[in-house]
């Protein structure tokens, strides 16, 4: 199963979000998730303030364990502190999706 996080961003702070997404990959992996990718908006098409993050988990129990680990992981806590201070994320929406094979 894949967690899809849809972020609404302050479009003036995309660099802050990009730094957050890059820094979060190691804590994600360390805590039991498999980072698929983070995607930033472009000015070519679509909204310029929406980003996506995709993280794979084998099942819901693994996701629940990941969430617990992530909240106590020093690297993840620091990433969250920095992104909160930057104020680049205005809203987050989480949904589980499944890959079509």
Could you give the angle at the alpha carbon of 67 between the alpha carbons of 34 and 30, nearest 5°? 45
Distance CA 40, CA 22 (A): 11
pLDDT at residue 47, as a whole number? 87
Q: Which domains does the chain have, with CATH numbers?
A: 2-96 (3.30.70.100)
- Those residues of the chain that have pLDDT short of 50 are none
Residue whose C-alpha is closest to residue 5's, from 73, 74, 83 = 83
pLDDT at residue 46, as a whole number? 84
Indicate yes or no: pTM above 0.85: yes
Mean pLDDT for all residues in the chain: 95
pLDDT at residue 21, as a whole number? 97
pLDDT at residue 63, as a whole number? 97
pLDDT at residue 18, as a whole number? 96
Tokens linked to 53: 């993050």
Residue whose C-alpha is closest to residue 39's, from 26, 25, 21 = 21
Could you give the angle at the alpha carbon of 85 between the alpha carbons of 12 and 24, nearest 5°? 85
């Amino acid at each position: 199963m894949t967690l899809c996080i849809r972020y609404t961003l302050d479009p003036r702070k995309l660099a802050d979000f990009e730094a957050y997404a890059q820094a979060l990959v190691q804590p994600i992996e360390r805590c039991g998730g498999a980072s698929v990718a983070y995607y930033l908006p472009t000015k070519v098409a679509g909204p310029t303030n929406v980003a996506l993050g995709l993280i794979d988990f084998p099942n819901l129990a693994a996701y629940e364990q990941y969430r617990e680990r992530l909240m106590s992981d020093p690297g993840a806590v620091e990433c969250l502190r920095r992104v909160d201070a930057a104020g680049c994320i205005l809203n987050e929406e989480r949904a589980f999706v499944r890959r079509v094979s």
